[in-house]
Structure 1
Amino acid sequence: MAQRTLLFVLFDGVQSLDVTGPLEVFAGAEKHTPGTYRVRTASLDGGPVRTSSGLTLVPDEALTTAPDPHTLLVPGGQGTRLPDPRLIAWLRARGPRVPRLVSVCTGAILIAAAGLLDGRRATTHWAYCDKLARDHPAVAVDPEPIYVRDGHVATSAGVTSGIDLALALVEEDLDRDVALAVARHLVVFLRRPGNQAQFSAQLAAQTAQRAPLREVQRWITEHPAGDLTVESLAARARLSPRHFARAFREETGMTPGRYVDRVRLEHARRLLEDTADGIEEIARTSGYGTPEAMRRAFVKTLGTAPAEYRRRFRPALTR
Structure 2
Amino acid sequence: MDSLPHTKLVVIVAFPNLPLLEVAGPGDVFFHASKAIFEKTGVEDTYHVIVIAADGTDQILTRSGITIATPVKIDDINQPIDTMLIAGYNFENSMIESSDFYNWLADISAKVRRIGSICVGTFALAKAGLLSGKNVTTHWDKAARLHRDFPDVHVDSSQFFIKDGNIYTSGGVSSATDLSLALVEEDYGREIAVTVARHLVLYLKRPGYQYQFGDLLPVNEYEQGVLSKIQEWMVTNLHRDLSVEQLAAHSNMSPRNFARVFLKETGLTPAKFVEKLRVEMARKLLVESDLSIEQIAEKTGLVSMVSMRRIFLRNLMVTPSHYRRAFKTTLNEVELT
* TM-score after normalising by structure 2: 0.69
- Alignment partners' CA distance in 1, 2:86 and 2:199: 18
- Residue correspondence of structure 1 range 86-125 to structure 2 within 5 A: 86-96=100-110, 97-99=112-114, 101-105=116-120, 107-124=121-138
Q: Report the equivalent of 2:14.
A: 10
> How many residues get paired?
299
For residue 22 of structure 2, what is the aligned residue in structure 1?
22
How far 1:81 moved relative to its partner? Answer: 7.2
Distance 1:45 1:251 in 2: 41
Report the counterpart of residue 196 of structure 1 in structure 2: 211
Equivalent position to 2:50, from 5, 21, 40 = 40
TM-score (norm 1): 0.73
CA contact (8 A) 2:102 2:128 kept: yes
What secondary structure, in the 3-state scheme, does the structure 1 residue paired with 2:231 have? helix
Counterpart residue number, 1:65: 76
Following the alignment from structure 1 to structure 2, what is the Cα–Cα distance between the partners of residues 259 and 178?
41
* Structure 1 counterpart of 2:155: 141
Q: State the match for 1:187 in structure 2.
A: none
Tell me how far apart the structure 2 counterparts of residues 195 and 10 of structure 1 sit (CA, whole Å): 23
| 1:123-173 deviation digits (Å, cap 9, x = unpaired) | 44677656644654442134x43644133534345xxx222x124336645
CA 1:80–1:74 in 2, change beyond 3 Å: closer, same or farther? farther
- Secondary structure of 2:173's counterpart equals helix
Structure 1 SS opposite 2:85: strand
Larger-Rg structure: 2
Which ranges in structure 1 are unaligned for 5 or more consecutive residues?
184-189
How far off its partner does 1:214 sit? 1.0
- In 2, are the aligned partners of 1:46 and 1:60 still within 8 Å (CA)? no
- Which letter does structure 2 place at the counterpart of 1:149? I
Q: Identify if the C-alpha distance between structure 1 residues 200 and 116 changes in structure 2 by more than 3 Å, giving closer, same or farther.
A: same
1:47 aligned counterpart, secondary structure: coil
RMSD: 4.0
1:245 partner SS: helix
Q: Corresponding residue for 2:39?
A: none
| Structure 1 contact 9–74 (Cα < 8 Å) conserved | yes
**CA separation of 1:230/1:5 partners in 2, compared to 1, >3 Å: closer, same or farther?**
farther
Q: Distance in 1 between matches of 2:246 and 2:200?
A: 45
Please give the alpha-carbon distance, in whole angstroms, between the structure 2 residues aligned to 1:276 and 1:180: 32
Q: CA deviation at 1:62?
A: 1.1
1:205 partner SS: coil
Q: Which runs of structure 2 are paired with 1:260-299 in the superposition (5 Å)?
A: 260-299=274-313
- Structure 2 residue identity aligned to 1:85: S
Report if the CA contact (8 A) 2:14-2:60 is conserved. no
Residue among 154, 159, 176 paired with 1:166: 176
Q: 1:314 to 1:210 in 2, by over 3 A?
A: closer
- Tell me which residue corresponds to 1:76: 89
1:179/1:286 Cα in 2 relative to 1: closer, same or farther (>3 Å)?
Answer: farther
Corresponding residue for residue 3 of structure 2: none
The one-letter amino acid paired with 1:200 is D
d(CA) in 2 for partners of 1:268 and 1:85? 46
Q: Deviations over 1:286-308 (max 9, x none)?
A: 32111221222222233333334
SS in 2 for 1:301: helix
**Are residues 111 and 308 of structure 1, via their aligned partners in 2, closer, same or farther at CA, if it must alter by over 3 Å?**
same
Q: Is the 8 A contact 2:170 2:179 kept in 1?
A: no
1:313 Cα deviation after fit: 4.2
Residues 14 and 86 in structure 2, CA contact (< 8 A), matched pair in contact too: no
Find the residue that maps to 1:288 and give its secondary structure: coil
Check the 8 A contact 1:45/1:62 in 2, yes or no: no
Gaps spanning 5+ residues in structure 2: where?
1-5, 37-46, 185-192, 333-337
1:296 is paired with a residue of what secondary structure?
Answer: helix
Q: Distance in 1 between matches of 2:180 and 2:320?
A: 24
Is the alpha carbon distance of 1:301 and 1:150 closer, same or farther for their aligned partners in structure 2, counting shifts above 3 Å? farther
CA distance in 1, matches of 2:32, 2:115: 22
Contact 2:9 2:48 in 1 (8 A): yes
Which digits, 9 at most, give the CA deviation of each residue in 1:82-139, with x for residues without a partner?
344332233223335234512321x222212333212212244677656644654442
Contact 2:86 2:118 in 1 (8 A): yes
1:150 and 2:163 equivalent?
Answer: yes
